[in-house]
C-alpha cells in the first residue's frame, strides 16, 4: 500500500511539472500514448524547457531522486546536452535531523558517552546532506592515544532510518526503468535499468562510512608528502559503519573567490596545482576523488600550509585499471598530436568498438570532433569536452562506454571548470602533458622493462626449477581420463606460456645489459 501511494505521488509530481509530455514522446504508438496525451493537456508545467522540468520533478520527489539525477548527469554519452546540463545544477540540501538523535547515534556507535570521548562537542551540525551530517568537537586523550588530547575533529553521522527509504525509492526507480525500457522506442539505448543499478551501487557504498574512511586513508597515503594537497586523517578506533571521526580541516571553500583573493592566494598557481593533483591521481595512482565540487574542496590559510588544497567527502571515488589509464593517456597524446588514426585505432584496440569497425570511417568521425578545437589556442581546449565528444561519437559505432570513464569525464569537467574560474588563461595541456608523458614513459619505456623483470622475478624462482618435473608428470599421465587430461593440458599450456614470457624477458634483459656493457667498453677503449 505504501509503495502504491509513493507511486501515485510520483505520477502527480510528474504531471505537475510537465514531465508527462516527455514520457508520452518516448512511448511507442498505442493506447497508452493516446491516454497520456489526453492527460498532458491539463499539465501546468509543460511550457518549461524539458531539462528544467526533469530537474524540478527530481527536486520535488526528494533527496534520493535528487542524488539519482546527480549521478545521471554524468552520463553525457547517453543524455542530450540540455538535459545533462540542467541535471548538473541539482543541489542536495536536506534539513538536519535532531541534535539529540545525532548524539544518541554517536554514543551508540562509540560505546561511550559524548563527555567521555570529547572535551567539547557541538551538537548543531555544520553541514547536512541526504545521507549524513557533520559535527565538530575536541577529542579527549586515552590511555592508548594520549596524543589525542585537545585535537579538533569532525564527526560524520549517517542519517537514521535512511536505508529503508533508499531501498523503497530504489525499488520504484527499478520499476520505472523497466516501464521505460519496455514501452519506450529508445529504451534500450538509454539503458535505464543499468543506470539505476549503477546508482544503486554508488548509493549503498555511501551508506557505509567505513568505506569512505578507507577511500580517504588511501588517498592520504598517496599524498602524505605532498606540498599541494591535504587529506584528513582518520581516527580508526572511533570509526564505524554509521559514524566516522576524522581530523578537522580548516580552510575556505574554493568557491569563495573574493575571500581567497583578499587572503593573498595566487590563483594562477592554485589552478595549475589543482589540475596537476587531478591528473596525478588519475594516471599515477589510478584512484581519484570523483566528487570535486566547491563544497568538498577548501584552501588552507594556515601559515605552514598556505595555499594548499584540502579535499573532503570521499564517498564517491573512481578507480582505473592499467588498461583504462593506458587508453586515456595514449588518446590524449594522440589527440594533441592530431593523430586521428591513432585515436581510432585505440578505440578499436580497447575492445569497446566492434572489431569489424573500419578504421578509416572511425578516423573520419574522430577528425570531425577534434579538428575544430585546433583553430583556437591550446589553453582554450577543454579535455573534458573532447572526451565527452569522443564518447558521443563512439556511441554511433556501438561502443559500450565503461562507467568509470564517464565518472572520470564528469570529474574532469568539474576540475576544468574550477581551474578556469581561478585562471581563465590556464593552459591545461601545458600542465597535463608532462604528467601524461611521464606515465607513458614509465609504462612503455625501459623503466617498464626493468619493473616487469623485478615483478616477475619471484615467480621465476618458483616456476623454472619445477618446470621439467611438471612436464614429465603431465606426459606420464597420458592414459588418465579425458577430463583430467584436458585440465592438465590447460595447466601445462599456462606453464609453457609463462616460461616463454620469462624467456623473452630474460633475453630482453640480457640484451639490454649486454648492449649497455658493450657501449661502456667501446667508450672506454676509445678514451684509452
Q: What 8-state DSSP symbol labels residue 95?
A: P
Show the CA angle centred on residue 34, arms to residues 30 and 35, nearest 5°. 120
| 229: CB partners within 8 A, 6+ apart | 223, 277, 308, 309, 310, 311
Q: What is the DSSP string of 200-244?
A: HHHHHHHT-HHHHHHHHHHHHHHTTT-SSEE-PPB-GGG--SSEE
DSSP 318: E
The answer to whether 222 and 235 are in contact (CB under 8 A) is: no
**CA dihedral over 400, 403, 404, 407, signed as positive or negative:** positive
Continuous segment of H or E residues that includes residue 120: strand 118-121
**Other C-beta atoms lying within 10 Å of the C-beta of residue 304:** 6
Q: Is 492 exposed, middle or buried (0-12, 13-18, 19+ CB in 10 A)?
A: middle
Distance CA 389, CA 499 (A): 44
Q: Is 423 a catalytic residue?
A: no
Q: What Å distances lie between residue 40 and 37, 52, 61, 308, CA to CA? A: 5, 17, 19, 53
Nine cell digits for residue 152 = 579538533
Alpha-carbon distance of 311 to 220, in angstroms, equals 10
What does DSSP assign to residue 285? Answer: I
Sequence-distant (6+) residues with CB within 8 A of 40 are 20, 21, 24, 46
C-alpha cell recorded at residue 159: 542519517
> Which residues 6+ apart lie within 8 Å of 81 measured at CB?
none
* 43 and 25 Cβ atoms separated by less than 8 Å: no
Tell me phi and psi for residue 508, to 5 degrees.
Answer: -60, -45
Residue 350 CA to residue 317 CA, distance in Å, equals 23
Q: Are 423 and 268 in contact (CB under 8 A)?
A: yes
Identify the active-site residue in 77, 273, 291, 313. Answer: 291
Tell me the three cell numbers of residue 444: 612503455
| CB 64, CB 202: distance < 8 Å | no
Distance CA 74, CA 290 (A): 11
Instruction: Return the active site residues.
Output: 291
Amino acid at each position: 500500500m505504501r509503495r502504491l501511494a509513493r507511486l501515485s505521488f510520483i505520477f502527480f509530481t510528474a504531471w505537475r511539472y510537465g514531465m508527462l509530455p516527455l514520457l508520452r514522446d518516448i512511448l511507442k504508438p498505442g493506447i497508452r500514448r493516446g491516454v497520456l496525451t489526453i492527460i498532458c493537456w491539463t499539465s501546468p508545467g509543460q511550457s518549461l524547457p524539458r531539462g528544467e522540468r526533469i530537474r524540478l520533478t527530481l527536486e520535488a520527489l526528494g533527496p534520493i531522486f535528487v542524488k539519482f539525477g546527480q549521478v545521471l548527469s554524468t552520463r553525457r554519452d547517453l543524455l542530450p546536452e540540455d538535459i545533462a546540463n540542467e541535471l548538473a545544477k541539482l543541489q542536495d540540501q536536506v534539513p538536519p535531523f535532531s541534535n539529540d538523535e545525532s548524539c544518541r547515534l554517536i554514543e551508540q556507535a562509540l560505546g561511550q558517552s559524548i563527555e567521555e570521548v570529547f572535551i567539547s562537542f557541538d551538537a548543531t551540525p555544520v553541514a547536512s546532506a541526504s545521507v549524513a551530517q557533520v559535527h565538530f568537537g575536541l577529542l579527549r586523550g586515552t590511555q592508548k592515544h594520549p596524543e589525542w588530547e585537545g585535537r579538533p575533529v569532525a564527526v560524520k553521522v549517517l542519517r537514521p532510518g535512511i536505508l529503508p527509504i533508499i531501498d523503497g525509492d530504489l525499488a520504484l526507480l527499478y520499476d520505472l526503468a523497466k516501464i521505460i525500457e519496455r514501452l519506450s522506442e529508445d529504451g534500450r539505448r538509454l539503458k535505464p535499468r543499468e543506470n539505476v543499478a549503477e546508482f544503486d551501487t554508488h548509493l549503498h557504498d555511501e551508506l557505509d562510512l567505513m568505506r569512505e574512511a578507507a577511500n580517504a586513508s588511501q588517498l592520504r597515503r598517496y599524498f602524505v608528502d605532498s606540498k599541494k594537497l591535504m587529506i584528513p586523517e582518520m581516527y580508526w578506533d572511533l570509526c564505524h559503519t554509521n559514524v566516522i571521526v576524522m581530523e578537522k580541516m580548516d580552510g575556505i571553500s574554493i568557491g569563495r573567490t573574493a575571500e581567497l583573493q583578499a587572503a593573498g592566494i595566487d590563483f594562477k598557481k592554485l589552478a595549475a596545482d589543482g589540475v596537476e593533483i587531478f591528473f596525478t591521481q588519475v594516471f599515477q595512482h589510478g584512484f581519484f576523488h570523483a566528487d570535486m565540487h566547491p563544497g568538498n574542496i577548501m584552501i588552507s590559510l594556515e601559515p605552514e600550509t598556505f595555499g594548499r588544497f584540502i579535499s573532503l567527502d570521499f564517498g564517491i571515488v573512481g578507480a582505473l585499471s592499467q588498461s583504462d589509464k593506458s587508453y586515456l593517456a595514449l588518446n590524449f597524446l594522440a589527440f594533441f598530436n592530431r593523430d586521428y588514426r591513432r585515436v581510432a585505432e585505440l578505440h578499436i584496440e580497447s575492445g569497446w568498438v566492434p572489431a569489424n569497425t573500419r578504421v578509416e570511417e572511425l578516423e573520419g568521425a574522430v577528425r570531425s570532433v577534434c579538428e575544430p578545437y585546433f583553430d583556437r589556442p591550446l589553453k582554450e581546449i577543454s579535455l573534458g569536452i573532447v572526451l565527452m565528444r569522443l564518447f558521443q561519437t563512439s556511441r554511433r559505432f556501438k561502443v559500450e562506454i565503461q562507467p568509470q570513464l564517464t565518472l572520470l569525464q564528469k570529474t574532469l569537467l568539474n576540475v576544468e571548470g574550477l581551474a578556469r574560474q581561478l585562471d581563465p588563461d590556464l593552459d591545461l595541456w601545458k600542465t597535463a602533458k608532462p604528467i601524461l608523458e611521464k606515465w607513458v614513459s614509465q609504462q612503455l619505456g625501459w623503466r617498464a622493462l626493468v619493473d616487469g623483470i623485478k615483478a616477475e622475478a619471484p615467480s621465476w624462482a618458483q616456476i623454472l626449477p619445477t618446470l621439467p618435473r611438471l612436464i614429465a608428470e603431465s606426459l606420464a599421465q597420458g592414459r588418465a581420463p579425458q577430463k583430467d587430461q584436458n585440465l592438465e593440458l590447460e595447466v601445462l599450456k599456462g606453464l609453457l606460456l609463462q616460461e616463454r614470457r620469462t624467456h623473452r624477458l630474460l633475453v630482453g634483459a640480457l640484451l639490454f645489459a649486454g648492449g649497455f656493457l658493450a657501449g661502456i667498453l667501446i667508450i672506454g677503449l676509445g678514451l684509452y
